[in-house]
Chain A
Amino acid sequence: MITHYGYTDGSGEYYISIDSDKCNSCGKCVKQCPMGVLEMVTEMIDLEDKTMAAVTEEHRKKLRYACSQCKPELNKTPCVSACVNRAINCSWRAS
Chain B
Amino acid sequence: MSKESPKGSKEYWRWKEYHRVLSDKSWKGKDAITAGVDVGSVGSKAAIMIDGEMYAWAVTRTGSNSPDSANKVMKMVLDGTGLQQSDIKYTVGTGYGRVNVPMANKAITEIACHAKGANYIWGPSVRTILDVGGQDIKAIHCDETGRVTSFLMNDKCAAGTGRGMEVFADLLQIPIEDIGKASLNIDEEPPPVSCTCVAFAKTEAIGLLRKGWSKEKVLAAYTRAMAVRMANLINRVGLERELVVTGGQSKNIGIVCRIENILNVKTLPMPNWREGGLDPMVAGATGAALLANALYRKSQGN
Contacts and interface: CB of A to CB of B under 8 A. Distances in A.
A25 to B, nearest CB: 17
Interface stretch (B18-26, B57-65, B253-261, B291-299): B291-299
Interface of B: 106, 108-109, 112, 147-156, 232, 236-237, 291, 294-295, 298
A45 B232 CA distance: 27
Nearest to B195: A10
Contacts, number: 39
Interface in A11-25: 13, 15
A1 interface: yes
A58 to B, nearest CB: 13
Contact of A45 (B112, B150, B236): B112
B147 A46 contact: yes
Contact of B149 (A1, A13, A44): A1
A4 B291 contact: no
A4 B149 contact: no
Contacts of B149: 1-2
Interface of A is mostly: strand
A45 to B, nearest CB: 7
Contact of B236 (A4, A9, A60): A4
Contact of B151 (A1, A9, A13, A43): A1
B295 A47 contact: yes
B154 A8 contact: yes
A43 B109 contact: yes
Interface in A41-83: 43-47, 60-61
Contacts of A44: 106, 108, 112, 291
Interface residues of A, number: 16
Contact of B237 (A4, A7, A45, A60): A4
Given A44-B108, A44-B112, A4 B152 contact: yes
Residue from A1, A7, A13 having most chain B Cβ neighbours under 10 A: A1
Nearest to A17: B150
Contacts of B298: 47
A85 interface: no
Nearest to B107: A44
Contact of A8 (B108, B151, B232, B294): B232
A62 B153 CA distance: 14
A3 B156 contact: no
Nearest to B141: A2
A6 to B, nearest CB: 8
A4 B294 CA distance: 27
B108 A4 contact: no
Nearest to B92: A44
Given A1-B151, A44-B106, A47-B298, A8 B112 contact: no
